[in-house]
A and B are shown apart, each in its own frame.
Chain A
Amino acid sequence: MAKLNRPPVIYSPTTIQDLLKIYHLNPDALIYAGGTGLLSGAEGDILHIRGSVINIAGVEELKKINRTDRYLELGASVPVSKVIDLGKSIVPEALYIALKQMGPPQIRNMATIGGNICRQANTMDIFPILHLHDCQVELRRFREYRSPRRFLKGSGSKWIPVSRLIDNDGKIIMESGEILTRIRIPNENWTFESYRKIDGPGSPLIFTALARLDKHILTDIRLSYSTVREKLIRNRDLEAEMIGRRVPFSGRDLTLLEGKLEAYFKGTGESSFTTARASALTIQFLEKISEPVDEGRV
């Protein structure tokens, strides 16, 4: 039987300033955006939220989408479905595919981009894509500046690479009272992007890959793998070894790369089953980038 507790106190700020101040005063409050994270396992009709909740759905600034020549900027509480609606030509292909796979339509309408990043359990979903794309996130917190004349109040803001958002154990590192407000995705032309999430029966695995070709020369490649044990596995040495090579890869090269990848994977303690899956996905990607490029494609 669920234990009853007092109803939570709900704060509904409409500006970022108010949000930061409320969060500063209630650092243990639950941030409510789309709600998909609140409820897993809530039995019965009451959600039994303890303490206080800050409902950020009314903060318009957090729902903005901004496009420039250099980047696509998403407010943290932009719903996943809104990002999908932007279309493949605006959203990086891997991200687009990942978001489309994020549950049925009703979940995508509720889940937010920021929520997905901040929820540790879900970081496997889009985190590797943002990481490979060198995305930046904006973190903000309430700050009081002391000046000789008067108190100046304002918010402290910083932009950090998304990779700095998680520690070695895959846990989100944010300071007390700090809120993720925006995500900036650089506009970079990748010739190939791939995202595969295998989450059927068996151990789940996410494979993300980006590759850039210039006149059959592989000028850049980034590969990441997420498993249950490791949120992000990336071998930059292997990537460096491939950069500068001519495609198509020869059969011998592919076999060599496969061997190296398997050896590396085994070193991380992954099972031979996961290793085999990761290796098969990688080889498939490398074979795909070896095929003639469709000229209309960027």
Chain B
Amino acid sequence: MIETKRLKEKLAGKIRFPEDISTKRTLIGAVVRSPIDHGEIRNIKIPEIPEDICLITASDIPGANKISVPGGSMPLLARKEVTYRGEAVLLAAGPDRETLDLFLEKIEIDYDPLPEWKYSEEKEETAGPARRIIKGDPVEALEQSAFKVESAFSTPLQRHLATPLLSVHVKTEGQKFTISSSTQWPTNVIQNCSAVTGVSRANFSIKLNPLGTPLDSKIWMPSLVAAQAALLAQKSRKPVSLSYSAEETLLCSPMRIPVRFHCEAGLDESGKLQALLMDFQIDTGSHAMLTSEILDRICIGTAGVYQCRNIKVTGLAYRSNKPPLGAFSGMGLSQAFFAVESLTDMLIARFIEQQKKDIERLIAEAVAAGDDNKLKSARTRTTTDPAIWRSRNFLIKGNTYLSGGKLMKSPPLDTVLEKLVSSSDFTRKHAAFSNALSKREKNGGSSFARKGIGLATAYMGSNFLRRERGLFSATVIGRLDKEGRLNLTTSSVPDNYALLKLWRQSAADILGIEESMVDISSDEENQIPLAGPATLSRNITVTTRLVSQACEQIKKRRFRDPLPLVVKKTYQNSSSRKWDTEKFAGHPFQELSWGGCVVEIEIDEMTFSPVVRKVWYSIDCGIILNRDSALAEVESETMQALGWCFNEDPERIRYWKLPGIDSLPEIHIDFTESSSRTANALGGIVLNTFPAAFRNALSQAAQSQFTSLPVRPEDIFTALEDR
């Protein structure tokens, strides 16, 4: 019933966002931004400031002029140098938009443009975090390899207009501030507002508004917007509403980090992976925020899901004049798996090619010798295929991560792959398409459609690698009152009724009370000082567990201790799965989900566009909490992935097209619930597998290796022309 009521409210548009809050006293805020990519502020000419206008420059900030996250920071207002178009230079608030605009029009800011930051190893100003990890002797092992492949890969940035647009409302009462925000990270909003205003954290409280579909673009940006509004509220002593326009939201929002890879790999004669050398650079934008986390995740991801004794990974981040870039689904793993799974496919193709040559040679020898037995045995020899090769090389129990931690049990990759291959008929189709295409090329005709089928396998790690409490931990406070009503307070509340219902159901089951007696709310009173953001499936994997733990404890104590009873459960670093960020050592992920994807593609030879006909997934993410939601999530992530791989043009800021319903392929999903008795990350599995499977399928269809995303029709045309 609660869900129906909430659904009705949602569909009737009754849910409110910060931009909807307004009172007569509320001032409207605005940000004056840099119109150039890189430059020095020469002069700011401010006219006489009317009484009803409040203006803030970098030097007016009472606290720290920066927004921080563990491992990174960016300025709140540019003081001397602007490092990206759209960077905030001044803040202002006025009684209404028109009065404010009239004043802002008179402000003159002169800039001396500076050259754009271009990546170069020598330039210190553009250097960001870096990693170099070596396992075994990869250079020697590559040298000794029977088959070698070398290739560059690149993945583009991905934009997202995250609605609700960035907005915040800050109410002041004396020294107290109440912030309304749609944020993935409420504790970070408070931390930063406190730091910039110089006011103690205890004076801040936060009201959470729903998030929409942020795709991780609202991890730290709402903290910046809130801090800007808090400063204006502090100075004007009035409530302030600061809402970014669509243009501003797009200009400043974090985007998916683009990555360039250079990869080499080698197999021995039997096809075993001997050496893997992965070198990559990521563009972090003007400032590194969660970059070191993303960098480390890419390092781990590029080692793939295969046994290999000799691996070298070198990664570095460099700064550019884009806004600080962000995470998005997979938080780096998507880019890493695109590279390593594409490279794997190339390697397998080389191996198959050699196997075919060997068979041809054996046949020729047998024919020449007139040996029927040899001929028979040569003819019955088969080549491997991308699925068989993978199943022979998957990681197993006892193998180590790149960071040294041992896998405590064998990943369920075999099961995942088996289901995937059987439902998609991969092996037969892969061979059939190859044969049809080679016949077509030999005959010079076009009777066969250009079809391809591609496969990729990967994992998704939930939660952060860095174990700082402010990033990694989560807290649930359970309070059972005298009337038997349970209130669960979490550091963030998801805009997902299925998950809320599940928490409510789980609490009601444990305590044997009616679901209607369970309330779930966000932490408005600032009782949870440190918690990480709602990302990386933390709500599903961490908070769900904490809800159960808190309720179990209440159950034990409720007849012993007087009511009201308050229990606080905080998620801590596991003692058995330790991670050392400094040394890049230990168990990187608390929980892993495993998955595979097969993509079937046909090239439309009139438009040179890839048409994704069918997609199959096999996913083991532990217990599926809500099947309908899970299916919907896989479908919407597939469309995101398709956009990243093909439809979305990263160069177009405003008018790019998202893939529409006409691009929706037939999707088959198989969930395996065998490997874990808990719910693990589902979000990210699609983005970690689909792109490489897409590329592998397209490369088969065009009989040419594509190495960059997005693949454009022009690229396909050129590839076909070159053949």
Residues of A within 8 A of B (CB): 1-4, 43-45, 196, 198, 200-203, 272-273, 276-277, 280-281, 284
From A3, A43, A44, A200, residue with most partner B Cβ within 10 Å: A200
* Closest CB in chain A relative to B300 CB, distance in Å: 32
| B101 cross-chain contacts in A, Cβ below 8 A | 1-2, 4
B717:A198 contact, CB within 8 angstroms: no
Contact B32 A1 (CB under 8 A): yes
Whether B657 contacts A276 by the Cβ 8 Å rule is no
Chain A min CB distance to B308 (Å): 36
The 3 A-B pairs at the shortest CB distance, nearest first, are namely: A202-B713, A280-B606, A1-B104
Q: Does B525 contact A (CB under 8 A)?
A: no
User: Residue A200 contacts which of B97, B247, B713 (CB distance < 8 angstroms)?
Assistant: B713
Interface of A is mostly: loop
Q: Is the CB of A200 within 8 A of B609?
A: yes
Given contacts A4-B102, A43-B247, A44-B97, is CB(A277)–CB(B606) below 8 Å?
yes
- Among B245, B605, B646, B713, point to the contact of A273 (Cβ < 8 A): B713
Which B554-607 residues have C-beta < 8 A from chain A? 605-607
Let me know if A1 and B105 touch, CB within 8 A.
Answer: yes
User: Residues of A contacting B32 with CB < 8 Å?
Assistant: 1
Q: Would A3 and B647 count as touching, CB distance under 8 A?
A: no
| Nearest-Cβ distance from residue A42 to partner chain B, whole angstroms | 10
* B712 at the A interface (CB under 8 A): yes
CB contacts (< 8 Å) of B30 on chain A: these are 1
Interface CB pairs A-B, < 8 A, 23:
A1-B32, A1-B105, A3-B105, A4-B101, A4-B105, A200-B657, A201-B609, A201-B649, A201-B710, A201-B713, A202-B607, A202-B608, A202-B712, A272-B717, A276-B717, A277-B607, A277-B608, A277-B713, A277-B717, A280-B605, A280-B606, A281-B606, A284-B606
Whole-angstrom distance between the alpha carbons of A189 and B293 in the complex? 65
A221 to B657, CA, bound (A): 34
- CB of A201 within 8 A of CB of B647, answer yes
Instruction: Point out which of B606, B649, B710 has the most chain A C-beta atoms below 10 A from its C-beta.
Output: B606
Give every chain B residue within 8 A of A277 (Cβ-Cβ).
Answer: 606-608, 713, 717
Residue among A1, A44, A201 with the most chain B CB within 10 A?
A201
- Complex interface: chain B residues within 8 A of A280 (CB): 605-607
Which residue of chain B has its CB nearest to the CB of A199?
B657
A3 CA / B30 CA spacing, docked (Å):
14
B607-650 interface with A by 8 A CB criterion: 607-609, 646-647, 649
A-facing residues in B61-120 (Cβ within 8 Å): 97-98, 101-102, 104-105
* Interface residue B721 (Cβ < 8 Å from any Cβ of A): yes
A280 to B604, CA, bound (A): 10
List 20 extra interface pairs beyond A196-B606, A201-B649, CB under 8 A: A1-B30, A1-B32, A2-B101, A3-B105, A4-B101, A201-B609, A201-B647, A201-B710, A202-B607, A202-B609, A202-B714, A272-B721, A273-B714, A273-B717, A273-B718, A276-B721, A277-B608, A277-B717, A280-B605, A284-B606
Knowing A1-B105, A3-B105, A276-B717 are in contact, say whether A198-B607 is a contact too (CB < 8 A): yes
B97:A273 contact, CB within 8 angstroms: no
- Chain A's closest residue to B652 (CB) is A201
With a cutoff of 8 Å between Cβ atoms, the chain A residues found around residue B608 in the complex are 202, 273, 276-277
Output the residue of B98, B608, B657 with the most chain A CB within 10 A: B608
Nearest B residue to A4 via CB reads B101
* A43 partner residues in chain B, CB cutoff 8 A: 245, 247
Q: Which of B678-723 contact A (CB under 8 A)?
A: 710, 712-714, 717-718, 721
> Is the pair A201, B646 in contact by a Cβ cutoff of 8 Å?
yes
Nearest to B660 among chain A residues (CB) is A104
Q: Given A1-B32, A4-B105, A276-B717, are A201 and B245 also a contact pair (CB < 8 Å)?
A: no
